Amino acid sequence: MTKLAKLLDKINDVNDIKQLKNIELKKLAEEIRNFIIETISQTGGHLASNLGVVELTLALHKVFDSPKDKIIWDVGHQSYVHKIITGRKREFHTIRQFKGLSGFPKRKESVHDIFETGHSSTSISAGLGYAISRDIKGEDYNVICVIGDGAMTAGMAFEAMNHAGHLRTRLIVILNDNEMSISQNVGGLSLYLNKIRTAPTYFKMKEDVENILNSIPAIGKKVYKTAERAKDSLKYFLLPGMIFEELGFKYLGPVDGHNISSLINVLKRARNVDGPVLIHVITKKGKGYKPAEEDPDKFHSASPFEIETGKFKKKLNKPKYSEVLGETLVELAKKDKRIVAITAAMPSGTGLDKFKTELKERFFDVGIAEQHGVTLAAGLAESGMKPFFAVYSTFLQRGYDQVLHDVCIQQLPVVFAIDRAGLVGSDGETHHGVFDYSYLSHIPNITIMAPKDLLEFKEMIKFAVDFDKPLAIRYPRGYCSDLSEITSSYKIEHGKGEILINGKEIAIIAVGKMVQYGYEVVKCLRKDNISATLVNARFVKPLDRELISSLTKKHNIIITMEENAKIGGFGSLVNSILLELNYNGKVLNIGVPDTFIEHGNVEELYDLCNMSVEKIVDSIKSIYKEG
C-alpha cells in the first residue's frame, strides 16, 4: 500500500468511514483510487468501473448501516471499493487470483456482501425480494440497489421496477449513470438519460420551489402541497416522459457522483422517502486515471498494465478468436449483403467493432438485452437476412427460451457466434462458459460446431453463411491455436469429424480447444509407448456416428475431451452412441465436473478440474494399466 495512504491505513471496517468528515472522505477517495490503480496494474481486473464509484461507495457506507441495511451491487464488478472498506483491504492484492478475493460480491467473503451478482440487471429484483421480506417480518432496514445505466437497458430491471412501483414499498435504487455499460450505451433509454443529464432544469426548479415554499411561515407547507397537485403539467412540459415517476418511483437527481457532500445529502433524503425512490447519480468511468477516462472500454476488464503509460504488459503477436470473427465477417459481408451482425453491448469484446465502423447500417447493438437480440436475429432471418449474433456463452444462457422457441422451432438460419466458451479464468463462476453444449444440444434443429484452431474457425464462419438452419459456433477466449501441421484438410462437411493422428488401442475424441490438449496428450503417451488415435470432432451436434462406429472396432479405450460440463455435454452425447453400438470397451470422459468452478487463471482451473495435460495423461495411464 502506498506510504501516502494515511487515511486508508486507518480504515479497517465500515464504522471507520462513519467517523470521517466530508473533507476527509474526499481525501480518502483519492487514496483509494491510487490504491486500486496500483493493485490492478499488477493483478489485472475491472478498473474503470471501480474508479467511477469511489465517492458513491463511501457515501453509501457513511449514510447507511451495512450489513443491517442491504446494499446490492448490480453486476458486481464495481464492488472493489466496497470490499476495501469492509475489512478486505489487506487481501485486496489477491483480487481475482486463484484462492483469493472474488472480483464480484461473494457471500462467503463478508457479511457485507448481501447478494452475489455477476450478470447484469438483477439487483432491483433481488432488492425487492429483501424489501418484501422485511415488510412481512415487520423488520426495519433499508434496501439499496446500485445499478448502472447499461444494466437498465435490460427488461428484467424494468420488470422489477414496475413491480416495486406497484407495491409502493420502501426501496432505494441508485442509477449509476456513466453513459456506458462496457462499451458506449445505445437505445432510447440512453437518449432519455442524456436529456436529463444535459438539461436538468425541471429538477433544479422543483427543488428551489420546494425550498422556498416550505420556508414560508404558517402557510408554506399548505401552499407547497397545492403546488404538488398541479406538478404534472409542469413536469410534462419541461421533461416529457418522466419514465421513473410513471413507474411509481420518486426521482431524485441528477446528482454529481463525485461530490461527497451532495451524495450524502441526497442519500439521507432518500432514506426518509416512504416508498420506492430512484437516485440518478452521474459518474465518470475511469475517474482519476487519465488512460481509463479516455478509454474506459479498454480498462473495463484490464490485464496488468504500466501505470505511467497505461500500456498493457503482456500482449502476444497472435490473433484472438474474437478478432478473427470480426475480420472474417467484414470480409464476407462486403460480398454478401444479407449478412448482419448483432451484439449485446459488447462490440469490442466480441470483435465486432470493425464491423460496426465499416458496415454500420448492418450492425446492431441491442444493449444488455440478450433475449431481444436472439429474437431480433430470428426476425431478420425470417425476412431473408443472415444474422450473426456474437455473444458470450455465459450471457446466451439468458436467451435460452428465445433460442428454443423463436429460432429452433421455426428452423431459422441464425448463427450464434458463442465467444468466451469454456473456463474463462479470473471472472469465475458467473462467467465460465461451460454449459452451452448442455443447454443447446438437446434442442431439436440446431447444429453445434467448435473449431480446433484459427483456419478451421474461418472455414466454419464461411460454412455458416450458406447453412440454412440454426447454427452455433462455439470458441474460447483468447489466442487462436494452430494445428495445421497435423491437418490434411480444413474443408467442412456437415456432421463430419476428422482423424488427425492414427494410433492403436486408445482413441481420443476431442472438440474445440481441447483438440490442442489432445495433441499434447498423444505426444506424452508416445513417450511411454502408448499409441493413441486423435480425432477432432468438429461437430457436437450432429455427431459423426460413422466415424465413432469405426473407432469402436479398432480401440479398446475411448476418451472424450471437452471444455464443458460433463453432465449433458459432448462426452455424454458420445456415450449415447457408444451404448447404441453396444461398445464393450472402456470409456473416460474428460470435462468440467458437476460443481461451479471458482476464479483463477485458466491453467490453474484446468488442473483443478483434472483437465491439464499432465492430469489427463495420468487418468489415461490409469485406465490403460487396468487392462
Relative to beta strand 555-565, strand 505-510 is parallel
Q: Domain check: are 244 and 391 in the same one?
A: no
Q: Is 313 inside any structural domain?
A: no
Same domain, 418 and 430: yes
Clarify whether residues 52 and 80 are in a common domain.
yes
Q: Which of 89, 206, 356, 398 is catalytic?
A: 398
Question: What's the mean per-residue pLDDT of the chain?
Answer: 91
In 64-145, where does DSSP find H-type helix? 80-83, 123-137
- Non-local (6+) Cβ contacts of 246 within 8 A are none
Domain that holds residue 402: 321-476
Name the region of 218 (left: φ>0; alpha: ψ -120 to 50; beta: rest): left
Assign 241 a pLDDT band (cuts: 50, 70, 90): very low
Q: Residue holding cell 470422459?
A: 589
pLDDT at 182: 47
Evaluate if residue 4 carries a pLDDT over 80: no
Residue 315 domain flag: no
Give me the pLDDT at residue 539, please: 98
Separation between Cα atoms, residue 215 and residue 220, nearest integer Å: 6
For residues 183 and 212, state if they share a domain.
no
Q: What is the pTM of this model?
A: 0.88
Cα separation of 353 and 323, whole Å?
A: 9
C-alpha cell at 66: 451495512
Choose the catalytic residue: 116, 179, 370, 498: 370
Average pLDDT (393-419) is 98
Q: Is residue 426 part of a domain?
A: yes
For 172-216, write each residue's pLDDT tens digit: 999 999 875 445 555 556 565 556 555 554 445 455 545 555 666
Q: Render the burial of 503-541: b for 16+ CB within 10 Å, e for the rest.
A: beebbbbbbbbbbbbbbebbebbeeeebebbbbbbbbbb
**Do 60 and 141 sit in the same domain of this protein?**
yes
Residue 80, phi-psi category: left (phi > 0), alpha (psi -120 to 50), beta (remainder):
alpha
Instruction: Tell me whether residue 370 is one of the annotated catalytic residues.
Output: yes
Count other Cβ atoms within 10 Å, centred on residue 264. Answer: 18
Outline where 64-152 has alpha helix (H). 80-83, 123-137
The reported pLDDT for the residue numbered 450 is 98
**What per-residue confidence (pLDDT) applies to 179?**
72
In a domain, 52, yes or no: yes
Note the pLDDT tens digit of each residue in 140-178.
999 999 999 888 888 899 999 999 999 999 999 999 998
Question: Can you tell me the mean pLDDT for 457-466?
Answer: 98
The answer for residues whose C-beta is within 8 angstroms of residue 144's C-beta and 6 or more apart is 60, 64, 69, 70, 71, 72, 127, 172, 173, 174
Residue 394, CB half-sphere, CA atoms under 13 Å: how many? 18
What pLDDT is recorded for position 242? Answer: 73
Q: Are residues 379 and 528 in the same domain?
A: no
What confidence tier does 240 reach under pLDDT thresholds 50, 70, 90?
Answer: very low
Residues 462 and 589 in one domain: no
Are 395 and 427 contacting, i.e. CB atoms less than 8 angstroms apart? no
Q: Supply the angle between the helices 123-137 and 155-167 in degrees, to the nearest 10.
A: 20
Indicate whether 1 pLDDT > 50: no
Same domain, 359 and 472: yes
- The 10s digit of each residue's pLDDT in 560-592 is 999 999 999 999 999 999 999 999 999 999 999
Residues 280 and 148 in one domain: yes
Establish whether 398 is a catalytic residue: yes
Catalytic residue from among 285, 362, 386, 452? 285
pLDDT band for 514, please (50, 70, 90 cuts).
very high
